[in-house]
Amino acid sequence: MIGDRLQIGLAGLGTVGTGVYEALLRNRSLLEARAQISYEVRRIAVRDLGKPREVALEPGVLTDDWRDLVEDEKIDIIIELIGGTREAHELVLAALKAGKPVVTGNKALLAEHGSELFRLSQERGVPLYFEASCGGGIPIVQSLQTSLICNRVDSIVGIINGTSNYILTAMEKKGLPFHEALEEARMLGYAEADPTLDINGWDAAHKALILAMLAYGTPLSPDKVAVRGIESIDPVDIQFAQQLGYTIKLLVVIKRHANQKALELRVQPSFVPQTHLLSKVEGVFNAIAVSGDIVGETIFYGRGAGKNPTTSAVLGDVVLAMRECRLPDYHTGFHPYAEAMRVLPAQETVTPYYVRFRVKDCHGVIAAISALFARYDIGISAITSRDGADDEEGKHWNYLVFMLYECNFGQLESSLAEIQRLGTVLGEPMVLSIERMGMND
């Protein structure tokens, strides 16, 4: 039974937890009016009780054991902001079993354990809210579940990792080296505790799995996503992109192929035409283009990471939880409703490509590579080159770029394996898809 004052348990007082706690105090009268109930933050779980905190706390409110929140009968709602998947998994399971609605921003947890958690949430009738797990302050999770609910979703294409977009923008606009840009993103509170996930594409992949689940009705497992990150993007690729009329973005592409009863799901750095809205999304901003059979094309834009935007998403869910926990037979947490769809293997996906080689400075290189592409039935739309450098033995090499027409990725891989066996090609080529997205491209 909810008392006169709703009791909140907050797990995590880091970047987002601190923002949530501050906003619960700062906007109390507004939130209480909108939720139609007053509230109190009863306990807060952290890892290190001795750490200095940015906020003033009542004595006894902190604990270093999250079980104190779950086992406290007076606590009505749990906010999980500890991150990671092991303890967060235990915490969310325990909270749902204890009948306490959970608000989380933990996309890694949902990507890994979503099936189990949503099943439990459904069985017990205890909601699990997760607006902050995707797109920072952008209200995409609720939008897909409410305002856009009548649509068959044809595609979702977007930039959904703030850290990698911050890095790519800083490399392009300020000429910053990769690691300096990453350090700035960490200092600003955008990066994950382990930023490997931000740069290897997996944070975006976790969010893509959540978006696909919302759009197609069932959790999918992480092994279904083809994922590449931004770690190998070289400044020379950024310069070629600019020269050719594109911007490089870490894109999530989710597309329904109705004729094949399959879903395309990939995360990869891609060439986005400079005329497309997504190419203008800079720094920590995210944008998500959703195309539905009834609504047509929509685009959601906003800050994709950081303390305050994420706090806004968490508190949206908290107010929803405050309202709905007084309606025991009804909640708007996610209910799986569909069978899993087949996910297209990466080799079967089709786009145009940018392929950049390093080649020896000698005659016949372009002809030899072109002949091999032709053998695999891959058309070339343009070729450009740039002076490279001398190797350790004083022999000169150059950059050579091929812009390819649409081809199947499996075919491209086979052609590249042969091309790399040419004695004139040095190292691995850089391969980036070129996205065609409608809407001004």
- Positions in the binding site for ligand NDP (CB under 6 A): 11-17, 45-48, 51, 66, 81-83, 87, 105-106, 132, 136, 189-190, 192-193, 305-306, 310
Shortest Å distance, C-beta 187 to ligand HSE: 13
Nearer to ligand NDP among residue 50 and residue 423 (C-beta): 50
Instruction: Tell me the closest approach of the beta carbon of residue 17 to ligand HSE, in angstroms.
Output: 14
Choose the contact partner of 39 out of ligand HSE, ligand NDP, none; CB within 5 to 8 A by kind.
Answer: none
Token duo for residue 140: 């995409």
Report the C-alpha gap between 290 and 148 in whole angstroms. 9
Q: Which is nearer to ligand NDP, 270 or 286 (CB)?
A: 286
Residue 207 appears among annotated catalytic residues: yes
189 binds, among ligand HSE, ligand NDP, none (CB under 5 to 8 A by kind): ligand NDP
Residue 17 binding: pick among ligand HSE, ligand NDP, none (C-beta 5-8 Å cut-off by kind): ligand NDP
Beta-strand runs (E) in 219-321: 226-227, 246-257, 262-273, 285-292, 296-303
Exactly one of 100, 107, 207, 224 is catalytic; name it: 207
Q: Quick check: 198 and 283 in contact, CB under 8 A?
A: no
Residue 429's binding partner, choosing from ligand NDP, ligand HSE, none, with beta-carbon cut-off 5 to 8 A by kind? none
Q: Any residues with CB less than 8 A from the CB of 87 and at least 6 apart, and which? A: 66
Q: Which positions lie near ligand HSE, rule CB under 6 A?
A: 136, 161-163, 190-192, 198, 203, 304-305
Helix, strand, or coil here: 186?
Answer: helix
User: From residue 195, how far is each of 187, 208, 311, 333, 438 by CA, in Å?
Assistant: 12, 18, 20, 29, 32
Q: In the complex, what is the shortest distance from the CB of residue 45 to ligand HSE, in angstroms, rounded to a whole number? A: 21
Q: Is 165 left (phi over 0), alpha (psi -120 to 50) or beta?
A: alpha
> Which is closer to ligand HSE, CB of 198 or CB of 435?
198
Min CB(208)–ligand NDP separation in Å: 15
Up-side HSE of residue 41: CA atoms within 13 Å toward CB?
26
Check: CB of residue 77 under 8 Å from CB of residue 98: no
Considering the complex, state which of residue 138 and residue 407 has its C-beta at the smaller distance from ligand HSE: 138
Residue 75 amino acid letter: I
Contact 149, 193 (CB under 8 A): no
Q: Which is nearer to ligand NDP, 171 or 305 (CB)?
A: 305
Residue 219 binding target from ligand HSE, ligand NDP, none, CB below 5 to 8 Å by type? none
Catalytic (active-site) positions: 207
